[in-house]
Amino acid sequence: MTLSISEIVNEFRPDLAGYEVLYQHFHSQPELSFQEYETAAKINDELKQYDLFHIQKAIGRTGIAATLENGAGPVVLLRADIDALPVEEKTGLKYASKKRMQNLDGVEKPVMHVRTHPTVMGAFGSAYADPSQACGHDMHITSLLAAAELLIKAREHWTGTLILCFQPAEEKGAGARAMVDDGLYLKVPVPDVVLGGHVMPFRAGYIGTKRGLMASAADSFEVTLHGRGGHGSQPHRTVDPVVMAAHTIVRLQDIVSRETDPADAAVVTVGSIHAGDAENIIASRADLKLNIRTITPETRKRVIRSLKRIIDAEAEASNAPAAPEITATSAYPFLVNDDDVTARLEHSFAAHFTPGPRAYDNAAIRLGGSEDFGVLATSVNRPSCFWTYGGTDPEVWDKAEVEGKLTESIPINHSAHFAPVVQPTLKIACDAYAVAALSWLKKE
C-alpha cells in the first residue's frame, strides 16, 4: 500500500522522549562558533549507532556531513546549524547552560544555545537580529537527528540520497562557506535541493514558508576612531574620540531616516562602543562595532558607501590626527527561497500541518535577521528553501496576545531568557525535516 507523506511521518516518527533528553544535553553543553568539538562528537555518536550513514567529520573545522544512499533518485540535503552564542543564560531551566569557554580571541565568555531577535516592527515587517544575545540551534540539531531516525525506519517508502549537514559557525556567518571551501561537495554528492528551518519566538505549533526573499543581508564592521588623548580639564589640547563617536553614531541613523526610501528598508545598528577607562582622562581612540541589514543589493551597496562616507567625514570634522580604520568582520548573503521548491513544500506542509494562523502559513513573515544557510545551495547553483517555526509556550503566547504585550512579554531569539518549549516544538521541527525530504524522496 502506498502511504502519503503525512502517513509515513506519523507511522515512523520515533519516540521523542529520548530526544527531549538529548535536547537538554545539547542545551546544557553549548559551544561557540568553530569550537563545536564536543557537539560534533555527540552528533557523530548518535549517527554511528545506525551503521548506515557515511559520515564525514571536521568539514570547515567542526562540521559534519552524513550521507545515506537508498537507491536511485534525488539528492536532498537537510541542514542544521550547531553553534551557540556568548550569552549568560537566565531562563531558570534545570538544564540551563552554566558553561563558559574562551572565544577565538582568547576571552572567556558564558555560552548559551538560545536564539531570537529583538523586535523592530516596520522596517522589515518582522524582528531583526541583535547579535549580542542568545540561539536555538540545539533544537535544530535534535530535531534533525530525530528526523534521521524517522527516515531510516521509513526507508522502504523512499528512494534517493539523504545528506544530513550539521553546520558550524552560523552565528559568525562563516560556517556554510567554511564547509564549502573545505570540500563539502567533494565529500558528499551535490544535492538537487537544500532544505532547512529555524525555531523562532512564534507560538509553538506554528510553521511557515515564504517564497522569494526570506532573510536580509547583514554586514558587520569594526571601526576605530583616532583622537588625541589628554587630561579631562584641558579638552582644548585634545581631540576627543568620544565626542567624535557620538556625532558619528547619531549621523549614521540618517542613512535610514533620510537616505533610504520609506518603501525600501534598512537597519543601521551600533551595537558596541568602547573608549577610555577613567572619567577624567580623554581617550586616544574609540572603538565601535556596527551592523547593517538590507533587503536589496542596490541598497546594500549604497548603505555601505554612506556608512564609510559619514565615518570619514565626522573624523575630518573633528580634526582627527589619523583617518578612521574600518574593517569588515562578517557578511551574510541574502537568503532567497526558490519559488518552485517552496511551492512543493507548500503542498506537502499544508497536507501534514493543516493551514491556519496557528498551524501552517504559506505567507510567513520575512526574517529580519540573517542566515548563511543559502551558501550551501548557491555555491553549487542549486535551489533551496528555509522555513520558520514557533517555540513559545502556547499558554504564554495566548496570555500575552490577550494583554496586547507580545513584543514586551515574549523573549526573542538571542535573548538570555529565550527558551523554546520542548513540545510541540520538537515534534513540529522533526516532522518538517521529514516532510520536506519526502517531498522529493518519496516513492511514487
Kindly report which listed range (63-67, 103-107, 204-208) carries the lowest average pLDDT score: 103-107
- Cell numbers representing residue 47 in the block: 549517527
What is the per-residue DSSP string for 65-131? EEEEEESSS-EEEEEEE--BBS----S--TT----EEE-TTS-EEE-B--------TTTSSS----T
283, 305, 332 — which closes off a domain? 332
Q: What is the pLDDT of residue 416?
A: 52
Neighbours of 38 (CB within 10 A): 14
The answer to whether residue 250 scores a pLDDT higher than 60 is: yes
Q: What is the pLDDT of residue 124?
A: 36
- Cell numbers representing residue 369 in the block: 535577521
Give the CATH number, domain containing residue 262: 3.30.70.360
Half-sphere exposure in the Cβ direction for 89 (13 Å, CA) = 25
332, 363, 381 — which closes off a domain? 332
Q: Number of structural domains, the chain? A: 2
268, 300, 332 — which closes off a domain? 332
What is the number of helices (H) and of strands (E) in the chain?
14, 18
DSSP type of residue 442:
B
For the whole prediction, is pTM greater than 0.85?
yes
The answer to whether residue 192 scores a pLDDT higher than 70 is: yes
Within this chain, do residues 343 and 405 fall inside the same structural domain, yes or no?
Answer: yes
Higher pLDDT, 176 or 413: 176
Q: What is the pLDDT of residue 411?
A: 60
Cα angle: 85, vertex 138, 89; to 5 degrees = 45
Q: What is the pLDDT of residue 340?
A: 98
Region 38-64: mean pLDDT is: 98
Within this chain, do residues 301 and 338 fall inside the same structural domain, yes or no?
Answer: no
Within this chain, do residues 210 and 223 fall inside the same structural domain, yes or no?
Answer: no
Q: Quote the domain boundaries for residue 274.
A: 217-332
Give the CATH number, domain containing residue 39: 3.40.630.10
Q: How many residues does the chain have?
A: 444
Band (123; pLDDT cuts 50, 70, 90) = very low
Kindly report which listed range (32-41, 131-140, 240-249, 374-383) carries the lowest average pLDDT score: 131-140
Q: What is the pLDDT of residue 118?
A: 33
Residue range 109-120, pLDDT digits in tens: 788 765 433 333
Region 10-27: mean pLDDT is: 97
Residue 342 in contact with residue 349, Cβ under 8 Å?
Answer: no
How far, CA to CA in Å, does 424 sit from each of 13, 72, 192, 416?
A: 14, 34, 30, 21
Region 349-358: mean pLDDT is: 96
Within this chain, do residues 206 and 272 fall inside the same structural domain, yes or no?
Answer: no
Within this chain, do residues 240 and 285 fall inside the same structural domain, yes or no?
Answer: yes
